[in-house]
Structure 1
Amino acid sequence: MARQGRTDAQTGRRTISQRRLEAAVDGIRGAVAFNASLKDYTSFRIGGPADVLVEPADVDDVARLVRQAKAQKLPLFVVGGTNLLIRDKGIRGVVVHLGTLRAIREEPGAVLYAEGGVGMPTLIGYAIRHSLAGLEWAAGIPGTVAGCVVMNAGTRLGEMKDSVKAVRLVNRNGEVIDIPAAEIPFTYRRATLPAGIVVGVWVQLKAGVRAEVEKVVKDYLHYRRDTQPLALPSAGCVFKNPFKDSAGRVIDAAGLKGAQVGDAQVSDKHANFIVNQGQATAKDVLALIRKVRAAVARKTGMKLELELKVVGQA
């Protein structure tokens, strides 16, 4: 969607008129907040403000918001994933958080339907209680179901594409459409979907023994806690793994574990994680990313590719 506005002389932020923002959220039944901080809506706990942050009440609310934002020619952005860094001046236009879309239901054939705001830990817990197997690979992923689809989230045990049966999406015209998984091109850490907002996902599971499913999940959670810095805010893996190699191994070999800019630090537990030691800014993180890339390039000639998604104004 088009970006229109002016630049504030004092802050350097592009601005959008309050009238257009108010028109975009008119009649929305969910929560609406103007100039809202986004720090608490990312796993990194970093990020500037949104012009307006909306938590739609339901899918109909999402569709209305999309139509009205389009009419005002305002950009829409959805927060809720774990691989996200929001720059320090925030995001212009309308930011959407699906935190109220949390319904889960079981359907015939070992299928679960989860609304887009459901957290993956919640969905895994639901599957365990209903003796359903197939999501064990996602143990420890803190993001939402919608975010995991969009980024084709994965671990060494599997990827989101292994579980998805179909996706429900509100397209850029505000229409609700359902897309079978067979029609979605999934690649490494990406699903190619029509422009819009993922509001629900069907996952295909299989009947299992509750104790066995629970054990696999617990064992993998222990492995992740032992090998990844889950106690500190981060966005997960920062770089994509090079072909037949590990980004963490490459960064570690370049001597960068513990490297720091401000409160942003390359984890001394897993070198492909950058953690927020408390007051890190996006500027700190981006400077540290440049430092890591430059050191790895000098040592190996390799150009590390970001898995992290960077959005907003610097």
Structure 2
Amino acid sequence: MARTERPARTKQDWARMLEGVRGTIMYQASLQDYTSFRIGGPADVLVEPVDVDDLCRVVAKAHAERIPVFVVGGTNLLVRDGGIRGIVVSLRRLKSIRQEPGHVLYADGGVGMPALIGYAIRRSLSGLEWGAGIPGTVAGCVVMNAGTRLGEMKDALKAVRMVDPRGRVVDIPATEIPFSYRRAHLPRGIVAGVWLQMTPGDHARIEKTVKDYLQYRKDTQPLTLPSAGCVFKNPPQDSAGRLVDAAGLKGARVGDAQVSDKHANFMVNTGHARAADVLALIRKVRAAVKKQSGVTLELELKVVGQA
């Protein structure tokens, strides 16, 4: 027998399914304001849970109805122009930070890295200086094992609090998580919070390190335009930015998507770029680098959604 397509859910269907959720619920919401690229089509439903319990409730309801859940956030994300089907969750309301004994910080997944670094500086705690200038969330930085030349997330991570696909809270020690370049190999689920092992330090020295590295990033990266950070992973013993520059692609454009003339491994949204523009520019850059150097660049950028 031919498979019968399930009819699309109405707004009333979604409202009944999400009854009891205390956070904000939006229908056909544009995801442009939820990505650092300022690009992205609509979500069927966008939910902003108010706390971890609310997040568990959303995930449990989605699991019972067999509806996919996607978490939007972080800086290495490109949402295609057709948007994302199912439920999209934003953790932006999960912003709690607290200090625990032993110089440990706990931060909800929606805490921005600048806010967390500022919290650590005020308490003279060292261990996050490497994150200066990273605008993403704590959860996003864990998932991609975000890092710079000064260090990466795994260096400070003590444990991760996750909400599993059935909506249950699971705490995982960092020692049980395999890490690789720009990736934490986590079980399925949503990063709801993290514990970070910090070290007491000199307040002035910590603050100076952060300010100096932030200035370095401002001088070398296009931080004033919407972007998703580095587009390509660095090949072994080489730099993706160097390869793109050597291929003559600095400043190359497709629509309003442009290879930054400041850092060739960044693509920026100069106005009203679409995801299709960025993807076309990625193809152009990869082809040119392959022809010039023989290297096939691997994406660091995560591409999701429908065309």
Do both proteins adopt the same fold according to a TM-score greater than 0.5, normalized to the shorter chain?
A: yes
CA distance in 2, matches of 1:222, 1:68: 45
Q: 1:1-314 counterparts in 2 under 5 A?
A: 15-18=8-11, 20-314=13-307
TM-score by structure 1 length?
Answer: 0.95
Shift of 1:72: 1.1
SS in 1 for 2:47: strand
SS in 2 for 1:112: strand
- Asked if structure 2 preserves the Cα contact closer than 8 Å seen for 1:5 and 1:16, the reply is no
- Asked if structure 1 preserves the Cα contact closer than 8 Å seen for 2:11 and 2:27, the reply is no
Shift of 1:51: 0.3
CA distance in 1, matches of 2:305, 2:224: 26
TM-score by structure 2 length?
Answer: 0.97
AA aligned opposite 1:158: G
Q: Which aligned segments of 4 or more residues in structure 1 are displaced greater than 3 angstroms?
A: 4-7, 15-20
CA distance in 1, matches of 2:297, 2:255: 22
CA offset digits 1:14-59 (Å, max 9, x no partner): x545455334422100000000010000000000000000000111
Shift of 1:5: 6.0
The 3 A distance-change label for structure 1 pair 239 and 61 is same
The 3 A distance-change label for structure 1 pair 295 and 46 is same
SS in 1 for 2:284: helix
CA offset digits 1:179-214 (Å, max 9, x no partner): 000001111111111111111000001001111100
Q: What fraction of aligned residue pairs are identical, expressed as a percent? A: 71
AA aligned opposite 2:57: R
CA distance in 1, matches of 2:245, 2:98: 43
SS in 2 for 1:33: strand
CA distance in 2, matches of 1:118, 1:226: 26
Unaligned runs of 5+ in 1: 8-14
CA distance in 1, matches of 2:164, 2:252: 42
CA distance in 2, matches of 1:136, 1:101: 22
Q: How many residues align?
A: 304
Unaligned runs of 5+ in 2: none
Shift of 1:228: 0.3
